[in-house]
Amino acid sequence: MKHLKIVALASGSGSNLQSIIDAIEKKQLNAEISLVVSSKRKAGVIARAEKYNIPVIVVERRIYKDNIRGFSAKIAQVISDFSPDLILLCGFLSFLSEEFCQLYENRIFNIHPSLLPAFGGQGAYGIRVHRMALKAGVKVSGCTVMFVDAGQDTGPIIVQKCVPVLEDDTEESLAQRVMTAEYQAYPEAVRLFGQGRLSISNNTVKISQRKDED
């Protein structure tokens, strides 16, 4: 597996970033987090990054209002010095412009706390996703790691993991259980990427066999 330079974009605590940091520290991933970009000035991800001596740059989303292109262009400018191989969205509460998605085509991952296509799309983020799942009465939920495209939760799916929905689940208890699956899924997807095993055809992800001691 080649050494990956990763840039993470986050708006909150960046708990999913922790799964990547942990996998790197355990040598399960040959990678480094080169930079964290926070879209909020007081996001918890900032302290998390500082704890691991990861540089942080804040690009405030609120300043750009509905100017997604300007916001995305600023992020592109900020991260270009770091020449990232891969961009990971870790609870990043903004869209990215089509230009940005094209610039880093097939090199941006996001993670979503449901088994897409269920409970994705507009308004489906954070705890709301689990509210939707409980309201629908599903007995299985999970998480999805996908490539980011210009659509909303429509990019090609890389990894999905299931968890049971239990009888006495609240939104919070279900979120917690799905998060344990996310901690598995995100590093797994990054590893497949680093091993060069992912390709996209017809908007679906093909995962090639392992070739060697990757």
Stretch that binds a second copy, among 13-21, 22-30, 39-47, 155-163 (CB under 8 A): 155-163
Closest approach, Cβ 161 to a second copy, in A, equals: 7
Dump strand ranges (E) for the chain. 4-10, 31-38, 56-58, 86-90, 108-112, 140-147, 157-164, 198-201, 204-207
66 binds a second copy (CB under 8 A): no
Which distant-in-sequence residues (6+ apart) come within 8 Å of 151 by Cβ? none
Nearer to a second copy, 58 or 118 (CB): 118
Q: How far is CA 131 from CA 59, 124, 138, 150, in A?
A: 30, 9, 11, 25
The rounded distance, in Å, linking the Cα atoms of 185 and 25 is 17
Q: How far is CA 165 from CA 116, 177, 187, in A?
A: 16, 9, 23
Per the CB < 8 A criterion, the answer to whether 9 and 75 are in contact is yes
- Which of 63, 70, 136, 180: binder of a second copy (CB under 8 A)? 136
Token pair, residue 198, equals 């992912």
Closest approach, Cβ 201 to a second copy, in A, equals: 9
- Which of 87, 116, 124, 129: binder of a second copy (CB under 8 A)? 116
Region 157-176 residues binding a second copy, contact defined as CB under 8 A: 157-162, 167
For residue 99, which amino acid is it? E
Per the CB < 8 A criterion, the answer to whether 75 and 148 are in contact is no
- Which of 56, 57, 138, 150: binder of a second copy (CB under 8 A)? 138
Of these residues, 8, 19, 34, 112, which one is catalytic? Answer: 112
Stretch that binds a second copy, among 46-54, 67-75, 103-111, 153-161 (CB under 8 A): 153-161
206 binds a second copy (CB under 8 A): yes
Instruction: Find the helix or strand (DSSP H, E) in which 134 lies.
Output: helix 127-136
Stretch that binds a second copy, among 63-71, 89-97, 100-108, 138-146 (CB under 8 A): 138-146
Q: What DSSP string describes 84-101?
A: -SEEEEES--S---HHHH
Residue 112 annotated in active site: yes
122 binds a second copy (CB under 8 A): no
- Which of 142, 174, 178, 186: binder of a second copy (CB under 8 A)? 142
Nearer to a second copy, 49 or 163 (CB): 163
Which residue ranges make up the site for a second copy (CB under 8 A)? 115-118, 134-140, 142, 144, 156-162, 167, 202-208
